[in-house]
Structure 1
Amino acid sequence: MSERSIGLLGDRKRARLEELAQATADKGGVSLLRDAFQRLRRNPVAIIGAAIVLLLILVAIFAPLIAQHDPTTRFPELTKDLRVDSIPGARSGFLLGSDPLGRDFASRLIYGSRQTLFVGVLATLIGLALGVLIGAISGAFGGWVDVVLMRLTDVMLALPSLLLAITLVAMASKSSQWTVIFAVAIVNVPIFARLLRGSMLAQRESDHVLAARSLGVRQRNIVLRHMLPNAMTAVIVQATLTFSVAILDAAALSFLGLGDPDINRAEWGLMLGVDGQRYFDVRPELAYYPALAIIIVALGFTLLGEAMREAIDPKNRR
């Protein structure tokens, strides 16, 4: 290739780079979060997951308007047909028929979304708060503090999550809704602590942290203003994924009889464990519908969390 051809190719490449630079300057810079949000909007998996999550939230908020009956009321038109070997199915005014105590099964399913959302959100938030605290302290100070805290999290991670949750609930003098919430929260603490600690360790030698240290900025301000905000994105995404695990763990504890003993409380795991298991041969729908609701909600949060993880991954940026 002649020197003239090489020069023409160089001129064209230079002109193309100038056009791209000008286009970028006209549009303005795009932040990582904005770029991630734009890719989420084009991702069908994220849209499906967000739709399921939004539907759960709306059903939980407007449960009194959607449900036809009170979930704790026993109706004579249902109780009169209750038998040891027969539970009334769908009929006029009762879309899914009766539960074993003569209560509207459809209304209890709808109100169960409130309880499931409450347990999942609270357990995830408590686990997130404790995990962020441990991970921030470990990643910021290092040394023997990091060693002690990480060895404790390693012990917790060595045990299967459900087995650890069962152990924590069994240690309580009396099982309740709050024992389930705290057990599920404690199980998720080491996950958040490990993730945040790793993100903060990766930033300890980054340019902006070294610059802040050279300017004499206090260690507390470096951690709170520079390291922690930049490390929280991955933790928030993990919280979305952990929410689905929290729902499944809480449902499993209720299924095993270690959850809330209040039979009047409408909760999907309790409905699946107490009613669905006991009366499966009589009316299997009592187990099918709560199980299906748990699977769909867990799937929605999993799809949304995985899509968020891919969206913020720098390797996927184009």
Structure 2
Amino acid sequence: MCDERPDHPTRGGRPPRRRRRARHRQAPRRRDRARHRPARRPEEGKAKLDALAQASADQGGVSLVRDAFRRLRRNPVAMFGAAIVAVFVLVAVFAPLLAPHDPAQRFDELTKNLTVDNIPGASDGFPLGSDPLGRDFLSRLIHGSRQTLFVGVLATLIGLGLGALIGAVAGAFGGWVDNILMRVTDVMLALPALLLAISLVAMASRSSQWTVILAVAIVNVPIFARLLRGSMLAQRESDHVLAARALGVKQRSIVLRHMLPNAMTAVIVQATLTLSTAILEAASLSFLGLGDADINRAEWGLMLGVDGVRYFEVRPELAYYPALAIIVVALGFTLLGEGMREAIDPKNRR
């Protein structure tokens, strides 16, 4: 019997004893290379850092607004909504130049064949025909964009102002002030928006354009108040607010200069989304007959409710065009607002 064990190769193809010998032979060579390797000088690392800093300075820092705008431009859905909004605003601003006729004028060409069962359609000089009173329907549709924009923007601005005031006071002071203001907003949020707007308009002795604006504005107040109050509470515990408070800065300066500017970004984005809701609510009130009582003033909700529904079987185009205009404009503001929200939200940065 032979006690000698076979010299089995290992994973590297060499016996363990030979591999140890090879390591011992290579160790002096490694020490010699490390000894003769030039040491990295601190000046080289500093020079590299200076070069990187100079390159960053040459490119320039990107602000949060510019970064958000860059992400917004890369969003095709938001750009589509912005295009709709831009066309709507241009049509509303230049309505007197774009409208071929006076929206309140009655024309003999349209009234001579006008009856209850016959409303003239498209003809020479009147591309969309007549309304039930013999006025140019296209001119009224164009001027209706101005009235819709005026009501929606003014109602949103009033709601934004009142809601921002309530939310800023509640978020800045807290305590019993916050509890009282938030319970009032909770009561307003518990009611459906359209039902609350109808109740507010019904309280007026006579419905008008301004009753619609105030009703829609009051409905949107709790939305802005809750949103700004939450942002203000998040800002109260931030580092820069704590540092300002430790330095002895007055509470008024902290709220107006440190907390409120940083909390208004989300509120401004919400205003874009609320604008589409305000347009729909104002059109709904006019459709129900609670809007402006002046029949000579062109407004899409009034055109849809008074003319479109009443004469739908005679000429359905009187309801199609105002309804389509309201839907497209509300869609444009919604897409733009959602794109702005995604662009500003740091969670969506790529």
Instruction: Tell me the TM-score normalized by structure 1.
Output: 0.93
1:160-193 Cα shifts (integer Å, max 9, x gaps): 1000000000011110000000000000000000
Pick from 54, 59, 66: which aligns with 2:91? 59
Is 1:109 the counterpart of 2:129? The answer is no
Percent of matched pairs sharing the same residue: 83
The number of residues matched between the two structures is 306
Q: What is the correspondence of 1:278-289 to structure 2 with a 5 Å cutoff?
A: 278-289=310-321
Please, which of 127, 131, 154 is the counterpart of residue 95 of structure 1?
A: 127
Matched, 1:136 2:168: yes
1:252 alignment counterpart: 284
The equivalent position to 1:29 in structure 2, one of 40, 47, 61, is 61
Matched, 1:222 2:274: no
Question: Which residue identity does 2:216 align to in structure 1?
Answer: V
Q: How does 1:142-181 map to 2 (within 5 A)?
A: 142-181=174-213
Q: 1-side partners of 2:58 and 2:124: how far apart?
A: 63
Cα shift readout 1:251-308 (whole Å, capped 9, x = no counterpart): 0000000000100000000000100010001100000000000001000000000000
Higher mean alpha-carbon deviation, 54-63 vs 236-245, is at 54-63
* Mapped partners of 2:217, 2:53: distance in 1: 48
Give the drift of 1:21.
Answer: 6.7
What is the aligned partner in structure 1 of residue 322 from structure 2? 290
1:7 is matched with which residue? none
Give unpaired runs (5+ residues) of structure 1: 5-13
| Cα distance, 1:20 vs structure 2 | 7.6
TM-score, length of structure 2 as denominator length: 0.85
Runs of 4+ in 1 over 6 A off after TM superposition: 17-22
User: Whole-Å Cα distance in 2 between the matches of residues 210 and 62 of structure 1?
Assistant: 50
Corresponding residue of 1:275: 307
For 1:133, the aligned partner's letter is L
Q: What residue is the counterpart of 2:152 in the other structure?
A: 120
Structure 2 gaps, min length 5: 1-29, 31-44
Match of 2:241 in 1: 209
The equivalent residue for 2:297 is 265
Q: Structure 2: which amino acid aligns with 1:200?
A: M
Q: Give the drift of 1:47.
A: 1.1
- The amino acid across from 1:314 in the alignment is P
Q: Secondary structure at the match of 2:309?
A: helix
TM superposition shift of 1:29: 2.1
Q: Deviations over 1:209-259 (max 9, x none)?
A: 000000100000000000000000000000000000000000000000000
Q: Which letter maps to 1:87? A: I
Deviation at 1:24, TM superposition (A): 3.8
Q: Give the alignment partner of residue 73 of structure 1, picking from 81, 102, 105.
A: 105
**Equivalent position amino acid for 2:329 in 1:** V
1:297 match: secondary structure:
helix
Partners of 1:116 and 1:307 in 2: CA distance:
23
Task: State the secondary structure of the residue aligned to 1:278.
Answer: coil
Pairwise CA distance, 1:70: 0.2
Which residue of 235, 242, 245 corresponds with 2:267? 235
| 2:349 counterpart letter in structure 1 | R
